[in-house]
Structure 1
Amino acid sequence: MVAKISVGNSLYGALAYNGEKINKEEGRLLTTNRIYNDGTGTVDIHRAMEDFLSFMPVWSRVEKPVVHISLNPHPDDVLTDTELQDIAREYLEKMGFGNQPYMVYKHEDIDRHHLHIVTVRVDENGKSIDTRNNFYRSKQITRELERKYGLHDAERKNRRPDMQRHKVDVSAGDVKKQAGNVVKELNRRYRFQTMGEYRALLSLYNMTVEEARGNVRGREYNGLVYSVTDGKGNKVGNPFKSSLFGKSVGFDAVQRKFARSKQEIKDMKLADMTKCTVLSVLQSTYDKERFIATLKEKGIDTVLRYTEEGRIYGATFIDHRTGCVLNGSRMGRELSANALQEHFTLPYAGQPPVPLSITTEGQEETQAPSTSEYGRDLDGMGLFSPEGPAVDAEEEAFIRAMQRRKKKKKRKGLGM
């Protein structure tokens, strides 16, 4: 994700550029802070201008108080409006603008959807918010957000791992070698904490595993037996003892893997990123198939288990971005099997999502509905400075048009 920051003097110029684009249905207003928002996704430019001015002291001597930011995710990043709102809020909070009035717009006039943010760097007391080292701070923050939301690295085109490794195919022959390669690779790449999570991961690649316990000559033993499955999860062919694939995928090694994974997921807070993505997609739809498909686009596979009556009794999410396999209930009640079953059944199934009510500090509750590079001072307007050209060619054309309009008005006033 690339962030571009510009500062200027013309608040109206920044609001008019974004507002006119939104009101032409080339985007929508996603969220605001301390600025009126009727929840329709449209903009009342003059009302927004009044709200900003009521916050800013007229006697402030801060030069170029207007801040215009564009946040540009990679074209391959599939993000919901809720995720975009969260990203914008977190970015502004970390940049020191969290309590400032701001407006967040989503531009949809080109295939690469992106955000524009208008805010001010002068507080209610007329003091300037420190914007020194903004470039470096912004870069660090966007990297943090990329990791949290599983976005592509702005400086690398292909960061995500290959999620579609080959499934075991009985018809291709040498099944033992195929199965061994899959099992060893999954153990190397992924973190899982229970046998159920391990089975869910294996199921994506036409494999399953069972524990084998017994007693030989008075000595108890524990082992694992791996089996190949068909597309419906039914076992096919002969099972394989784990010893055929090596100690690294045997019972003791997998038990150690559970403990190690648990600690790593906790220490690195890896479940937070998965939970954030899954909840965001869940809030955007009551259609189960769309939910699963959207998560898959984002790099998360969903494994649901059903009773004979067709009720969901288990849910596991495999996040290929972080290499974590997580049972839904492990991430919270709202992602448990019962909660998902309720979410995807009548009266909501197949219906459009209910608009979310999102409250932020200092803002009344408002309704928020659900590849080229990503990502001047205007005479008399002063919209942007050379600090960071966030404007694109179309935006510059808009600014020039406003210049011409202003010059025409001046000529008329002089009787020309």
Structure 2
Amino acid sequence: MIAKIIYGRTCRGTMNYVLGKEGMQVLGYGNTFSQDITPKFFGSLLHFQGQRNATKNRYAHISLNLPHNEHVDDKTFFEISKEYMEKMGYGEQPYMVTRHSDTKHEHVHIVTTNVNDKGQLLSLYNSKRRSMATTSYLESKYGLEPTPRTKKENELPIFRLPELKTENDDTQGTRYYIQDVLNRILQKHKVRSFGELARLVKPYHIEIRKTQSTSGRVGVAFGLDNRQGYRTRFINGSQVHRQMSGPKLQKVFDGHKRSKLLPMHRKRLLKQIETTYNLFRTIRPHDLKEVLKEYQGMDIALDIKLDTIDGYTIYDKSGYVLRERELGKHLMMQERLDIFGNGDAWTEINIHSKQFQLEKEKLIREAIQNSHLKSRRQKGLLSEHIGTLRFTDIVPILMESKEHRFLEKYMSGEQIHTFRKNLKENFPQIQQRIHETETRREKEALQGKFDLIGDIVRKGVFDVGTTDGSVRHLFQALGVRYQNNKLLFADSDKYSVPVPLGHLPLPKNMEEHVLDGFVRQNHLMMEMLIKQEADNKSKQTAISFFLPMVFPGLFERMNTDYKQRYESLALGAYLKHAERMHASFEKSSKDYITFFNAKGFYFEKGENGFIVKSIYTGINSSYPIPKRTSLYLSSIPDLGTTLKQQHLVLENLIKTRRNNLKNLWAGHLMELGQYDRVAYMLTDESAYPNLYPEIVRYHMDKGLRKTIQERTTKKSAIQQNRLLRKGVHAIGSLLDKPTGNQEEGYNGFKDELTDYSKRKKNRGISF
């Protein structure tokens, strides 16, 4: 089911459209004193309430569209409409549901107002995202065919028309076809003129007629002509759709032309095409499309007139459509006869060009780096790996490279032999150059870690010392180690920095080797705390929040002030990630809070807006919610009650000892689709994901259930029963629907395996 929402200043035109269709049927009304009122009376009621606020988005016109060949009866469609309005925040607004039968797909129109009975505007934040989540929920509840949630790269279908039709055929199907094609093209491309739009819609038999009044007002009309006896009369753009009128389209075109990003995209494309020309000696005009796609990842279409190639059009990934002449006259095929004017000569790379030499060096450099990444343990530094390489070690990687295959595709047999021979000859020089560069970079990196450690110790970020060896925790968390009065990389003895600390004992419970990703995030976080670099803040990911789980020996010694600053930064990084993960499930602003509560996060409202806190961080640690999100949460009708109810879920997480980062990490991995690792944590480590049941159910159906079953079948019969009980049964309890308040939704965990409250005093939480 697809929902479309249009906001407007008036409702008269919408009411006339909705009620003026032949075969129209009013299914019912919402929040009116009676179901026996007339549409005319409802229109007056709607107009009166909407006029109580001067906003331009007073009214909303919503259509709910089922896929082709799917049918629901009137009563069910009305119930679906009511539930959609409730989830979208229109539950207390007056609205009318009307069913139309003028298209092949069944659909209803809902007309309402965004102004409540107090004259205040409803919250319209995240309406598109919430609408997608709501329709997905309704599809599941009512057994409707799911709507694809990802964009398809397929081309628009070419319109196939009958050969014989009357001259003035103007059916609703024609109007909807034009609307559909224009809609999708304008979403896919950043069109800058009517002429450009005409070229884009021409393959779909749509013609455009542009007009201009004496006052300068631009008009536009659309028609169909397949040149085979089928032609419709032209329809004004405003009749096709209210957003397709001449002035509104012109406004969109002007915005795209004035974009500050357009010159940047032109410059990038110019560089890509110049690089391609510099690489080739000859290019057959018909091969240019394939060459640019393989070499630069560019999409172009050759402009062919009367079997003659008259240039090309670039369909850029930015959405802009550019002709070759817009990038520069020197790029036009007619101006580059040295490349394109060689008759039927094969497309061939210029093996003597400077660009070809650069490509050879790039091939070897990437092969060397990939050989390090693909090595079994990746032990040692890249410079050490480079020093042990022979050319034969990278040959398999070179042969698998698509860049290598691309170059050889446009060479003769003799050139390929020479090319491979040159790669082998050039390998030692390139290897030495890369080795020198990496050596210099690694030395600077070790010195940078030493300087950072000095700043951390001087400023007292952590309470670490040498007597108990706890400073080793700091070394390990930054990817270095201490040995014989020297600081070295954790996995290499190649470089060192003198650090005269004498004998430094190993602390108890020293963590084992940790992944480089956690070390990098910790390094960035420490630089943020010490230097407060804005660039590093943008590089923080959700992993930052789990650093205390990875480096417990270090973070338990963190200074209180710095810990609060760290937790605030980590909360902000995790918040951004979680918002993206929740987006496809979030039907309302109340869902936003509910999903975070299930993860162990809660919200408080202050004078300057909302802040977020968690059961994993200190009671004084918080992160300020962006203003737009604060306004979004403020739209919850029973906000006070919703905020008070948060403690029911949170206290239960604490009571069942799920207030640790391991359970949040299990949920994090589940959201990322790493089901193998999640299955291991569920079955072998007794970790239960802190996620909302609806989200858990989604991942179970998507593949987690199968992964758990596959893992448990590898165990013995006794182990299998135990693991199934701890894994699958635990997940099943998450999916139980609450029968009362929110706390009861988690009672499934209160069994002998998980109810630790009998043995350990519960930790409380303040609000």
Return the TM-score normalized by structure 2: 0.24
Structure with the higher strand share, 1 or 2: 1
Structure number with larger C-alpha Rg: 2
Structure with the higher helix share, 1 or 2: 2
